[in-house]
C-alpha cells in the first residue's frame, strides 16, 4: 500500500510518461494482463488509457488490472490511469527517501 507522499512522488514521475497500453471494447483479457505484468516488471510505473468503446470506466479498469497484476493504482484522471509495482530484484524507481 502506498502512502500519500509516495503516491504524489509517483504521480510527478508519471506526468512525463506516455500511455503504453489501452483497454478497449474487449475489456481486460489475459493477453492485456500479461502485457501489463511485463511492462511493470521492466518499468515499475506505467500509464494506461481506457478507450471510449470500452465497457469499463477508467477507475474500474485500473482497479481490475491492479488486482490482476498485484500492483497499486497511483492515479486515475479522465480516461487515463497509472499503475505501480516495485521490482524487488531490479528496482527502477528509488522510493527510499519517500515515506
Asked if residue 59 is part of any domain, the answer here is yes
Which CATH number goes with the domain that contains 18?
3.30.110.60
How many domains, the chain? 1
pTM, 2 dp:
0.95
Asked if residue 17 is part of any domain, the answer here is yes
d(CA 66, CA 60): 10
Asked if residue 92 is part of any domain, the answer here is no
16-51 confidence digits (pLDDT tens): 999 999 999 999 999 999 999 999 999 999 999 999
Q: What integer pLDDT is reported at residue 96 of this predicted model?
A: 83
82-97 confidence digits (pLDDT tens): 999 999 888 999 888 7
Asked if residue 96 is part of any domain, the answer here is no
> Domain residues for 44?
4-84
Asked if residue 31 is part of any domain, the answer here is yes
Query: Which single residue is written with the C-alpha cell 494482463?
Result: 33
Amino acid at each position: 500500500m502506498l502512502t500519500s507522499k509516495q503516491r504524489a512522488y509517483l504521480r510527478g514521475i508519471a506526468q512525463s510518461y506516455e500511455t503504453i497500453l489501452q483497454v478497449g471494447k474487449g475489456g481486460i483479457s489475459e493477453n492485456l494482463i500479461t502485457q501489463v505484468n511485463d511492462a511493470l516488471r521492466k518499468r515499475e510505473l506505467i500509464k494506461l488509457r481506457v478507450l471510449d468503446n470500452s465497457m469499463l470506466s477508467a477507475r474500474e479498469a485500473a482497479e481490475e488490472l491492479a488486482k490482476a497484476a498485484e500492483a497499486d493504482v497511483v492515479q486515475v484522471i479522465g480516461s487515463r490511469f497509472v499503475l505501480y509495482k516495485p521490482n524487488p530484484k531490479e528496482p527502477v524507481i528509488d522510493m527510499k527517501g519517500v515515506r
